Structure 1
């Protein structure tokens, strides 16, 4: 029996007064809360398993509402996400749901969120994102980006930016999305990291690479969170570390 182990953690950081991030692991969701201690869940490999983070857009109302709404939708759709088309349809439904919720409450009119994640299938991994939350291949000695940042080009010497060019919701009127969705064989990607930019902005990928080389599971998740905290943690930090193990 092969299995999927997912270790997740979410924390507001040291500057923001509350957490606008959310995470989904199969049927389990964590929305706008604090988990300094990593949570580990184990699932049999087979039925589609969705693992994703959503980062509510800061500086606009209702970021935590938008991110929670998206991960709860993904949790409900999870077992049916068996193809690129199914993932694309689910993300479009999430986008429509964020706009519909904002339309019902004028105080939430421009709320929005990024989303990034994977669907673990029996032989492959569906990688998806909208916005600048990331999916990183941590299977080998290096760290390879599988997602595509929706952000404007960086200026010379600039390493990060808080601007995004597309999100779920986020505008005064409905705007469609063009999700990034790719498929990778599990034989090539059997360990990956899904995270919000609260981790990747303050912590360089070279540091994440070293930590993932040195540690597994909960220890790796804790050390990555600790590195973000030591770097000032200017944003909410949410991550999910996914590993596929076992044998027949």
Structure 2
């Protein structure tokens, strides 16, 4: 018996690595925007997305990656991780894997892709962060949102409803988060530490490639439609909490929301590359 495979579409940014200051695209319910910012000469961020319709139900896969600027050609690492991660998410779902298993496999695929970049280009450990989301509409009218995370890009969920301020779905792999998790400092104090953004985990040839920790993969199941945001720290540095992000993402379509978020980051200083993925989930 032949099993029909879901029809898929894909998009990735930047399309021309290191050449464009600003790129944006829309793929079904997903909007991707990336901007070099106002300080850096090159954009080391990357994003990718894929959509599928499986048995009449929508599937969305996406990834946002932030290249580590202290290594060689970080834009190659972030692009490889984002694209490989999305391909693996779609393949895992098509193969019948649960969201958590598909996400874990995609993390492994993204990590391997970054290592391959170093081997192919003889570079000094290009590395990046990686945050993914797999959104699956289910037959019982619920939505399953599974996120994967290594590094300090983030995912946030904003359910529809006037009283909802949303929630953060990921934990950073950073010095600041380590201080908070250990009870040594609250988030405000931890973020004021000069080492706050120092990564404790990343993807790269010089990184620990697994097994993934308990905070690396998580799943949210909801019957309420809403908006999912995945972004690099070039955005959340200026809007770190879900409550601060909410006014930008709950009004308008995904592209308008993504543009508004990037515009805010630029107006606030644009000290880093800025990449945002906004997904309309249901509704």
Which TM-score band applies after superposition, normalised by the shorter structure? 0.7 to 0.9
What CA distance in whole angstroms lies between the structure 1 residues aligned with 2:202 and 2:224? 29
2:243 is equivalent to residue 184 of structure 1: no
Question: 1:131 maps to what in 2?
Answer: 151
- Structure 1 residue 96: Cα displacement: 2.1
Looking at structure 2, the residues matched to 71 and 224 of structure 1 have their Cα atoms a distance apart, in angstroms, of 21
Give 1:7-86 correspondences, 5 Å limit: 7-26=31-50, 46=57, 48-82=59-93, 83=98, 84-86=100-102
Question: Which stretches in structure 2 are left out of the alignment for 5+ residues?
Answer: 1-26, 139-143
Shift of residue 47, structure 1, vs aligned partner: 5.5
- 8 Å contact from structure 1 (residues 21, 53) kept in 2: yes
TM-score, normalised relative to structure 1: 0.81
SS in 1 for 2:191: coil
Match of 1:114 in 2: 129
Separation in structure 1 between the aligned mates of residue 59 and residue 250 of structure 2, nearest angstrom = 27
Aligned pair 1:159/2:194, yes or no? no
Report the alpha carbon displacement of residue 237 of structure 1 after superposing the two structures with TM: 0.4
Pairing partner for 2:263 from 217, 222, 226: 226
User: Following TM superposition, by how much is the alpha carbon of 1:189 offset from its aligned partner in structure 2, in angstroms?
Assistant: 5.9
Output the CA distance in 1 between the equivalents of 2:228 and 2:58.
18
Change (3 A) 1:117 1:97: closer
Deviation string for 1:143-180 (max 9, x for gaps)?
31101111112666343732111111162xx5223251
- 1:87 paired with 2:103, answer yes
Indicate the SS of the match to 1:191. strand
Could you tell me how far apart the structure 2 residues matched to 1:136 and 1:64 are? 24
CA contact (8 A) 1:70 1:94 kept: yes
Tell me which structure has the larger Cα radius of gyration.
2
Q: Secondary structure at the match of 1:157?
A: helix
Q: Give the match for residue 31 of structure 1.
A: none
- 2:204 aligned residue: 169
Per-residue CA deviations over 1:16-42 (Å, capped at 9, x if unaligned) read 101111111107xxxxxxxxxxxxxx9
Aligned residue-pair number: 227
2:4 corresponds to: none
C-alpha separation in 2, matches of 1:159 and 1:189? 32
Between 1 and 2, higher relative CO (CA 8 Å, sep ≥ 6) is seen in 1
Unaligned runs of 5+ in 1: 28-41
Deviates more, 1:154-163 or 1:79-88: 154-163
**Structure 2 CA distance for aligned equivalents of residues 78 and 48 of structure 1:** 10
Q: 1:222 to 1:47 in 2, by over 3 A?
A: closer
* RMSD across aligned positions (CA): 2.5
Residue equivalent to 2:172: 149
